[in-house]
Structures are given as C-alpha cells and as structure tokens.
Structure 1
Amino acid sequence: MRHTIVSLISIILGLIAGGILMLFIGSNPIEGYTYLLQGALKNLERIGNTLATATPLIFTGLSVAFAFRTGLFNIGASGQMLIGGLLASAVGLTYDLSRPVLLLVMVIVGLIGGALWAFIPGLLKAKFNVHEVVSTIMMNWIAYWTVYYVIPSYFKGEFLETESKTLADSATLKAPFLTEMFAGSYINLGLFLAVIAVIIVSFIINKTTLGFELKAVGFNRHAAEYAGMKVNRNIILSMLISGALAGLGGVALYTGNASTIQIGILPAQGYDGIAVALLGANNPIGVFFAAILFGILYSGTGFMNAMTEIPPELANTIIAIIIYFAATSVMIERLLNKFMKNRSHKKEKSGPVVEKGDS
C-alpha cells in the first residue's frame, strides 16, 4: 500500500511540475492535459495505439524489476531488445512456415536471444564481481553495432539501407481481429504476451522457492550464501530471465508495433523500463499499470502539440520530469516514512486524554 502511495505522489509531482512549465510559456495546463488524455484515450483507435505503445514498456519494466529483486541493475534492456528483435525478424524474413509455428519460433528465438545477451553480464557479475551496470551498457553498444552491420549486410530493405526488409503480415504479431476491434490501430498480440509475462513473473516472485531465493539474494547476498543458497547461480538465472523479458519486448516492438528494424537507433524503451520498474515499485502488477501510464503520455503528446501552442519539446520535458520523480521515488518513500514516524511519535508522546472524573 505504501509503495502505491509513493508512486501516486511521484506521478502527481511530475504532472504539477509539467503544469508549472506550461504556465511559464503562457499555456493553460488544464487544457494541455485534457488534450493529452484525449490524444491517448479519445476513441478506440487511440486506446489501441496507447496499449500498443505500452506493450514493450511492460516487458522492459518487468525485465528491470526482476533484476532489481536480486539486487541487480540491468541497464542493458535496450541491447537485449535489439538482439531479441533482430533474431525474431531474421527468422520471419528467412523461413516460410505456417503462421502459428512461425510466430512461436520467432517468440522463442527472441526470448533466447535476449536471455543470452544478458547471460554474459550475469556470468561476469557472478564469477568476477564485474558491476552489471558497466557490462550491460557495453553489451548495449555491442548489440547496436551488431544490428548496424547485420541489417545492411543480410536483410537490407528494398529502398533504404538503414532499415531491414519489411516482414510479411504472416510473420508479425499483428492480428486483423484486434485491428478491427480497435478501429485500425496498431495494437497486436504482443499485449497478450505481456499480460502472460506479468502473471508468470508475479507467480515466480511470490509463489516459488526460486522467487524466495532471488529476493533473499537481493536483500542480503552474504546472508543468503550463509543460509546455503547458491548465490552465483541465482545471479546468472536472474539475469537470464531479465534478458529474456527484454528480448520479448524487442519481439513486440519490431514484429508487432513495427515490421522493420532501423539501424542506428538504440530503443529508448529499454531505459524507460527503469522508470517503469521504479514507478511500479518492482511489482509486476505495478509495472503493468506504470507502463500503461507511460503509454498514455507518449501517445497523447502528439495530439496535445497539434491542438495547443505547447511545443513538442515541452511535451517530452513533461515525460522526462515524471521519469525523474519516478526515479526519486526512494527519496519520496523515505520522506513519507519519516512523516509517518513523526506523526506516530507525537501521538505516543501526547498519550491518552484522562478526564478528571476518571481518576
């Protein structure tokens, strides 16, 4: 409950700060936020696009949150997304299989690709105590340049060398029934995969021995080791699962929301997943709703820019401010705890009121 309050405070502070910025440039904050919400939720098409925008963020938020549970900071979700999306796209462009089999293979290959890309930082952390922040950042750039080389060399598009060939509809997560249901939006089957991932991760963390051990390692690595837990194995396993989730995010992004991969772009969703995980208090359900919030913000800014004089740079700044407050949620929680302790201390100090007739 307290984590939920902290997250809500972070969101409110971010929106207030964004509103103050709007006032500074002479715009009406209420009007601006009204158009932002309309841009994200005005009709079925916009709702579908919002959900599609949030889908990769659900995966990257889960990825970061799962690693956090083991005391690891996986900042390499962007690279893991790239590799997962690259491998899934390579399968879709190379093989001609029946659609259910092809999509299943693409999802599995993307999952494995992301997991293997996170395995190296996990192994370096477990065996040599190499900090995972450094190693995952390096793996991001290795993935970046790998895609930069592989796409033009083997999967070059028909008109542009900077992007891959376009996947056939049968090799994407797009579903006609969803497109029709949401009036032509680009919502796709990736959303269902994301919901399944939320359920599975929640079950692993809260209902399994593995989840208990991962949380124990995250709380105190030395105490967990003293208790007989295999700390190094759990670190590697945590990074594998974290990378697999990010790899699925790449599948959702590059074969669901889009049907090509562009070179020279490190997906921002990998870094936004950090803010989503923090805002969701590293809880799978919280991550899901935090990702939906970010989907609303990203989807609605274009409409807000079009309907008001608020420049696009300010819209992006508002998102950045909310991300900033999400990142400082730990500080907000400490202030909240201090406030609650002071309040409890004052109540204890005042003591019960005794009437004269009672003595």
Structure 2
Amino acid sequence: MRKINQWKFKTKSIAYIKSTTFKTKTSYVKVSFISIILGLLCGIIFLYCFGMNGFGFIFSSLIKPFTSPVEPEGTVILLAVFILLGLGLALGFRIKLFNMGGSGQAIGGLLITYLFLNAVTGGSDFSNLPGGYGILLFLIFIVSGAIVSSLTGILKVLFNIHEVATSIVINWILWYLLKYVLFIKFDTQLNSPNLPEVFGSQLWVFAIIFALVSIVLVFVVCETTTVGYKYKVVGTQSTAAKYAGIKTNSFIIGVTALQGVFISAAGFFYYFGLKSNISVTNDIMPLLGFDGIPIALVAFNNFLGIIPVAILWAVLKDGIQLTMNSPQYMGLPSETSDLLFGIIILFSTMYLLLMKINISNYVNIIIHKIRDPKFKTEIEIINSDIKELKKEKNILILNLDSTNEKLKIKELKKQIQNKSENLEILRDELNSLTNEYKENKAFQISKIKNKIKDLKLEKHLFINKELDKYNEHSIKGLKKVYEGKYNSTTFPILDQVVSIESEIQNIKESLSNSNIKEQEKLIAKKNKLELKAASLINKQESQIKYFKNNFASTKQEAKTYLNDLKLIYKKEIKELEAKKGSRTFKKLKIRKLKIDLLEKQMEVVKIYGSNI
C-alpha cells in the first residue's frame, strides 16, 4: 500500500505541476517577484539621485538584520506582526471586503488594555504588575479588536454602508477616544504610560508561533473544509452563493471579526514587544494597520505567500533603519524606508499589466521573424494596414479631412459672417449640416477603431497559430509527443490503481466483521489486488523509462540532423553572398533558402516522432 500511495502522490504531483492552475499560480509568484525587483531598482535609482550608493544600501539593508550585533528578537516580532497584518487583510480582500480599520482595531485593544491596567494597578506605573497577566492582556486585545472590526461588517450587512468609510471613521473615533482617556486618566502630555513586559524575554517565541499557526490553520480551513469552500464561493460569486443558500451576511460579519482577531494580535505584539508606548503630541494616527495592505497585495492574498513577503518586509524594515544609522548613509531622509515600500506597492498594484508582459513570448516572436521570412512579411503587412488606419483616424480626429460637407460648412459660415440674406435659414442649414458631419465623423472613427481592433486580433491569432505550428512540428514537438505517450500510458493505469485501492479499502473495512475463514479469503484477495496494483505501477514505470530514454536519444539525433542541415544552408547562403550579381536576386534566393530550411526543421516530428 505504501508503494501505491507514493506512486499516486508522485503521479498526481506531476499532473498538477503541468496543469493550468499551477501555471496561473506561478504567474502570480512571477508578478510578485517582478514588482519587488522593480520597486527596489527604482529605490536604488532614487538613492543614486541623493549621491548615495543605491546597490550598497539595499544589499546592506538585506544583510544587516542578520549580521548586526543587535539581538534579532525584534526582527522576529516584526515578522510576526507583518504576517498577522497580511493575513487579516488578505482574508477580507479575498471576499472583496476592504476593511481599512486595522489601526482602529489595534488602538481599540490598546485603549481597553490601558483601562484594565489602570483598574488593576490604580495608577499609570505598570512596572510592578504581578506576573500571569500576559495571556489575559492578549485576550483583552484580540477580543476588543474583533468587536471593533465586526462593527464594519454589521454596518455593511444592516445598512449597506461601505466598509472603507466605516472603518476609517471608526479609526479616528478610537484614536481621539484613546487620547481623551490618556489625558483624563493618566494626565498624558507627550507619550502614553509604558506598557509592562509580558512573557518575559519569550514574547518573540509566542509571537512567531501564533503567527505561523494562524496562517496554517486559515490555509487548512480554507482549502480543505466545507466552510472554506463556502468562503471561496462568497468571494468569487457572491450572487451565486446567495442562490446556493450560503449565508453571505454571516460570512461578512465572521470574516471582519476574524480580521480583528489577527490584526489586533499584531497590535499586541507590536506595542508590547517593539513599542512600549504611543505618542499623543499630534493628530497623526498610528498607521500600523495600513502596513499589512502591501503585504497582502504583493502576496496576491495567498495565505502561504504572505510568509515570504512578510520576511522580506521585516528584513528590509529593520535593515533600512540599521543601515541609515551607518555613517555613509547619515544624510538620507527618515522617510526613505516608507518611500521604498511605497514604490514596491505601486508596482504590485500594476499586477494586471505585469501579468500581460510575457518576455519569452516577445523573444520567440523576434526569433521566428528572423527564422521565417513569410511570417515577418505577413506581420509587416498587418502592421502597415494598422498604421494606415491610425493615420486615417488621426486625420478625422484633428479635423484635417477635406470632405464636401466640411467645405459646405465653411462656405455657410462665410455667408453668415458676410451677413447674407436669409440668416435664419442659413443658420438652420449650418446646424443641420454640422450635426450630420459630426455624426458621420463619429461613425467613421468608430468604424476605423473596429477595423484596427480586428486587425490586431488577426495579428495575435496569426502569431499564435504560426508559433504553435512551429512548436508542434519542430524539435520542440518531440516533447509533446513524449508527453502524449506519458499521459496515454499513465492516466489509464492511475484510474485502475485508484479503483484497486478502493477495493482494498472496502476489504479492510469488511475484515473486522468477518469470521476467520472469510478473513483468510479477504486477506488473500487483498494481497492479490496489491500485487496487481504493484504490477500495473511497475508496468507504467518501465514504459515511461523506455519512453524517456527514447525521447533523450531521439532528441539528440534530431539535434545532430538539424545542426548538419543548418551548416549546409549557411554554406549555401555564404556562397550566394560571395557571388556577383543583383542584390534583389540574392535577397530573394536567401529568402527561399530560409523558407526551405524552416520547412525541413518542421519535418522533425514527422521523421523522428515515431522513434519515441
């Protein structure tokens, strides 16, 4: 059974890696990576504008948190904070719920915590707080955050008030309420009273464990349970979810409450682990809740993707601060780190554009233009037609056309200026003719736009068709032949093995309710089925090994054939170029040789495909 399970896992994993779903997910990873790289490059350029070594600054920022003599606990707590913030916001973004109340949720937890600490100690000095209050303070923080956050969900469900508006208003209400309490209760003028130490020096351990467990739990629930499936349906098809009987309102309130739990937990670790108090000297509200937005955006709301993005954020955040304290970077503004993150966020919001950028496809098109003169000519003809249509469109837009209607309009305007007789009739005629001209012009522009759109689609389809044709029949097509053989061999056997496994499972269930004789028969049948499954697996593995070896040797033969072919044609082209004669004739002859070479390159599958 173990071998069956291992083979099944391996086969399904290979199938998943080749699937469209996996390719889509990897495209998101690609875009996240590109947005981060582009953001860092723009940051580097900005630093060079200040006369600083941009590459040196970024490199130093990435390694400082690991090489600095400062204890790394702060970086770990910051990582936990970013994970929880990203998780909380991604939960909402996935169901199109844009809860901007992260700062308010953290402030709400802080407000109730100060009131509780004041009630326990009777003052503003919390340094002598008895031990054992850590878990209680943590619970106070997250329950307060959950209540504050769920308010946005309740208001959305009951009164259809958008969550962005309510969450921002609640942020400011809680911020001023906290300031009021600090002024009245603690007579605070500059900074709030210092929060007590909780969990001793082990807060960072609790923070990172809580953050990672939260991520894993949310991922498992969303990916493997009925609740998770309903959550996905609410996010992707809310109308369909309502018709299916899913209580979307309950999900909205539940998700906002859960967001409050994670974001306020991040607030707890931030204020108790990194910043023991809060400044109240101005009206600038703490922006802690907003730090999670870029993490969720860059990770594309993927729960597991939040972890690497949060690691980068935490390392850069700490590293930039440490690097800015170095003598060679002392002149940099304090907002440098925020600027760098802002640039990365900007590029992450351009994900649709970045996803459309397929560099390998552009390279393939350029290569195929060099390879196939017919392909190049066809594209040039379509591009020329598009260019001409664009010229026509621009002439119409800029009123550079000279139609009879336009000439008539000019003539009528002159007659009116010269105060000719029947002015009213002339004005009516002018208005009628102008409207007719404008309508005709709008129709012509629309017609040209549609033609351009059709030509672009034709060009796109032509390029895809030609590239697919080349990939299918050239040496690249040998891989498709191998994959076809792999699929036709593997998946029928996989179906048989799954069926056998189901039978074995039924036998195992029947064993406990059978007598000794029946058990012996069932065990014998089970062993026979296991042997049959093992035989099928061995058959599949030996066939795939045979196909793989054939594919490798055939590909090598094809490469040798193509190299020899290229040498022959290159020699002919060189000889032709060396000969005296008409340049046009030479060009036509070289073009014909290139087309002949391409046709022979596209016979590779026909010649060698049957060898696999």
TM-score bracket relative to the smaller structure: 0.7 to 0.9
**Residues in 2 aligned to 1:336 and 1:227: alpha-carbon distance in whole angstroms:** 38
**Residues in 1 aligned to 2:180 and 2:244: alpha-carbon distance in whole angstroms:** 47
Residue identity in the other structure for 2:185 = Y
**Residues in 2 aligned to 1:243 and 1:39: alpha-carbon distance in whole angstroms:** 33
**Residues in 2 aligned to 1:31 and 1:137: alpha-carbon distance in whole angstroms:** 39
- Structure 2 residue 59 is the aligned partner of structure 1 residue 37: no
Residue identity in the other structure for 1:266 = M
- Structure 2 residue 165 is the aligned partner of structure 1 residue 134: yes
- Structure 1 residue aligned with 2:195: 167
> What is the CA-CA distance between 1:272 and the residue it aligns to?
1.6
For residues 43-58 of structure 1, what are the structure 2 equivalents within 5 Å?
43=68, 45=70, 47-58=72-83
- Structure 2 residue 603 is the aligned partner of structure 1 residue 355: yes
In structure 2, the CA distance between the partners of 1:29 and 1:88, relative to structure 1 (3 Å rule), is same
**Residues in 1 aligned to 2:201 and 2:36: alpha-carbon distance in whole angstroms:** 35
User: TM-score normalised to the size of structure 1?
Assistant: 0.85
In structure 2, the CA distance between the partners of 1:249 and 1:85, relative to structure 1 (3 Å rule), is farther
Post-superposition Cα deviations, 1:162-185, rounded to whole Å, max 9, x if no partner, equal: 33322332xx24x3357xxxxxxx
**Residues in 2 aligned to 1:339 and 1:137: alpha-carbon distance in whole angstroms:** 44
In structure 2, the CA distance between the partners of 1:334 and 1:215, relative to structure 1 (3 Å rule), is farther
In structure 2, the CA distance between the partners of 1:177 and 1:216, relative to structure 1 (3 Å rule), is closer
Q: Does the 8 Å contact 1:213/1:229 carry over to 2? A: yes
Post-superposition Cα deviations, 1:205-256, rounded to whole Å, max 9, x if no partner, equal: 2222222212111101101111110111111111111122111111112222
- Structure 1 residue aligned with 2:278: 261
**Matched residue SS, 1:284:** coil
Segment drifting more, 324-333 vs 232-241: 324-333
**Residues in 1 aligned to 2:349 and 2:229: alpha-carbon distance in whole angstroms:** 25
In structure 2, the CA distance between the partners of 1:335 and 1:86, relative to structure 1 (3 Å rule), is farther
- Structure 2 residue 137 is the aligned partner of structure 1 residue 106: yes
**Residues in 2 aligned to 1:112 and 1:138: alpha-carbon distance in whole angstroms:** 20
Segment drifting more, 79-88 vs 233-242: 79-88
Q: Does the 8 Å contact 2:473/2:603 carry over to 1? A: no
Q: Does the 8 Å contact 1:71/1:217 carry over to 2? A: no
Q: Does the 8 Å contact 2:267/2:288 carry over to 1? A: no
**Residues in 2 aligned to 1:328 and 1:148: alpha-carbon distance in whole angstroms:** 38
- Which structure is higher in RCO with an 8 Å CA cutoff and minimum separation 6? 1
**Residues in 2 aligned to 1:337 and 1:284: alpha-carbon distance in whole angstroms:** 28
Post-superposition Cα deviations, 1:300-329, rounded to whole Å, max 9, x if no partner, equal: 122322332461344432222122223333
Segment drifting more, 340-349 vs 266-275: 340-349
Residue identity in the other structure for 1:168 = P
In structure 2, the CA distance between the partners of 1:84 and 1:320, relative to structure 1 (3 Å rule), is same
- Structure 2 residue aligned with 1:311: 332
In structure 2, the CA distance between the partners of 1:210 and 1:267, relative to structure 1 (3 Å rule), is farther
Where structure 2 has 5 or more consecutive residues not aligned to the other structure, the ranges are 1-25, 122-128, 363-459, 475-601
Aligned length: 344
Q: Does the 8 Å contact 2:74/2:273 carry over to 1? A: no
In structure 2, the CA distance between the partners of 1:120 and 1:316, relative to structure 1 (3 Å rule), is closer
> What is the CA-CA distance between 1:71 and the residue it aligns to?
1.6
Residue identity in the other structure for 2:279 = Q
> What is the CA-CA distance between 1:64 and the residue it aligns to?
0.6
User: TM-score normalised to the size of structure 2?
Assistant: 0.52
> What is the CA-CA distance between 1:8 and the residue it aligns to?
0.9
- Structure 2 residue aligned with 1:124: 155
Q: Does the 8 Å contact 1:79/1:266 carry over to 2? A: no
Where structure 1 has 5 or more consecutive residues not aligned to the other structure, the ranges are 179-186
**Residues in 2 aligned to 1:64 and 1:161: alpha-carbon distance in whole angstroms:** 33
**Residues in 2 aligned to 1:285 and 1:311: alpha-carbon distance in whole angstroms:** 34
Q: Does the 8 Å contact 2:109/2:144 carry over to 1? A: yes
Post-superposition Cα deviations, 1:88-139, rounded to whole Å, max 9, x if no partner, equal: 3443453378634x22221211111111111121012122222111111111
**Matched residue SS, 2:325:** helix
Q: Does the 8 Å contact 1:110/1:247 carry over to 2? A: yes
Percentage of matched positions with identical amino acids: 28
> What is the CA-CA distance between 1:67 and the residue it aligns to?
0.6
**Residues in 2 aligned to 1:62 and 1:324: alpha-carbon distance in whole angstroms:** 20
Q: Give the RMSD, CA atoms, in angstroms.
A: 2.8
